[in-house]
Structure 1
Amino acid sequence: MAVDQQYVMITGAGAGIGREVAWAYASKGATVILTDKNAESLAQTTERLRSGGQRVFSQVLDVSDPAAIAACFAWVRESAGRLDALINNAGLGAWKSPYDLEVDEWDYVLNTNLRGTFLCAREAAKLMRASGGGAIVNLASTRALMSEPNSEAYAASKGGIVALTHALAVSLGPDLIRVNAISPGWIETGDYGALRPIDHAQHPAQRVGNPDDIARACFYLTDPANDFVTGTNLVIDGGMTRKMMYEE
């Protein structure tokens, strides 16, 4: 199935990587189904795509709310009728010392990033199973593999997404649903031109990443021709997780 025949859902499409991935799919002719908890940001993305003539559905969704997820996918079933690919991109962090991180802050991050990813994947799989299969891509992070201080909730949620991905790949494989993860490193979604030479040079690839790097990976993982790729975690970080860091 060519991209222009696909129905692709992107969560967290109001800004950042999600917005650019949505644009990338829409620009290739896919019908995109966009969600975000920020109604204003979602409206901006939706208007940008519709003004270019792309086929767009959009719905406000907070993926930390299980009831809202169920209602959203019922809406997808009724309005779009099918789903070929899901990009589970919505996520957030709480950057606080583990001494100060409150239980409700921990829960909100895990419920948004990890539980939200599972519930969206489960509901998407129900639609995909009915139409003969599909592809799910979960956005994890290199923080699943390495850490900075005060990132415990975020790191735990992203590590959980990596494990959830291979578990779902095994469970959903008989229904011809492929599940993969992408772990981005530094992906600049702001002013790329403001980056310093040292920012680029610290990467073995000699540059900081941009959302197009993630979009191209999503295209690969959601291409039905790549049906032998499932359960993997594709690290896209310019080589940073392979670089030893020692102070001189």
Structure 2
Amino acid sequence: MQCHWQDKHIVVTGAGGVIGSAICRYLLECGARVTALDKTPRAGELNLAIEGLDLTDAAAINGFGARLSAPVDGLVNNAAIAHPHNPPLAELPLSLWQEVLAVNLTAPMLMTQALLPHFRDGASVVNIASTRAVMSEPNSECYGASKGGLVALTHALAISLGPKVRVNCVSPGWVAPESEVLSELEHHQHPAGRVGRGRDIASLVAWLLGPEAGFVTGQHWLADGGMSRKMIYS
């Protein structure tokens, strides 16, 4: 593990989930100071206190930014309503569409906006999207649109905020908890030979946050074990 984040301050949303907790753990192991956010406050791993923040509340996000006193070296917009399926389009309520976009797309913009005064030169933002930004199945309009929008937001922000701040996006595929036991079929359908784990995403995020990715901005990184490149016909 290459550790570039001693004494660096990283803000991570969605810190209580599989991917978010893995990102926090990885960064803490590298010596970073992590401000962890989730909808519900709780105790995280490695003595990390997860703060509560409602990402559907713009005033709450702005309040978090106003209270923040330490400079910020990185922001990971990981929080999401991670249910890919919605009712059929004819039955899709506008309220659900708006709720998913509020958390998955609007909140990353608001978080980035709120932290603008705090970003150090050379800071990095990493947005966590999904392979559903580039591939779909029926009845996934809310989630797919929100994640596709996040990919587009990424390159727009990269152009607007450079050269002070770099902005990139990671789209995970199937990522399972370490404790989940999966079948050989579930693993072997992936060209990489296995389902992803949180640390697979965390290590990529850490690289994008760090100085070795200093020439990388506005890019979309797929981390899905090759599934989005595999032709599947029934």
Range of TM-score over shorter length: over 0.9
Are 2:122 and 1:123 aligned? no
Match of 2:100 in 1: 109
In 1, Cα distance between the equivalents of 2:228 and 2:107? 26
Are 2:18 and 1:29 aligned? no
Task: Report the TM-score when normalising by structure 2.
Answer: 0.94
Contact residue 84 and residue 135 of structure 1 kept, 8 A: yes
Q: Number of residues paired by the alignment?
A: 230
Instruction: Give the 3-state SS of the residue equivalent to 1:84 in structure 2.
Output: strand
Contact residue 205 and residue 239 of structure 1 kept, 8 A: yes
Task: Report the TM-score when normalising by structure 1.
Answer: 0.88
Q: Give unpaired runs (5+ residues) of structure 2.
A: none
Q: Give the AA of the match of 1:179.
A: V
Aligned residue among 64, 71, 84 for 2:73: 84
Contact residue 187 and residue 209 of structure 1 kept, 8 A: yes
In 2, Cα distance between the equivalents of 1:138 and 1:202? 27
Superimposed CA distance per residue, residues 27-58 of structure 1 (whole angstroms, 9 cap, x where no aligned partner): 2211000100123xxx131xx321xxxxx564
Matches within 5 A, 1:8-157: 8-39=10-41, 43-45=42-44, 48-50=45-47, 56=48, 58-77=50-69, 81-92=70-81, 93=83, 95-128=86-119, 131-157=120-146
Q: Give the AA of the match of 2:43.
A: Q
Larger proportion of strand: 2
RMSD of aligned alpha carbons = 1.5
In 1, Cα distance between the equivalents of 2:35 and 2:12? 6
Larger proportion of helix: 1
Higher mean alpha-carbon deviation, 93-102 vs 207-216, is at: 93-102
In 1, Cα distance between the equivalents of 2:74 and 2:161? 14
Q: Give unpaired runs (5+ residues) of structure 1.
A: 51-55
Instruction: Give the 3-state SS of the residue equivalent to 1:146 in structure 2.
Output: coil
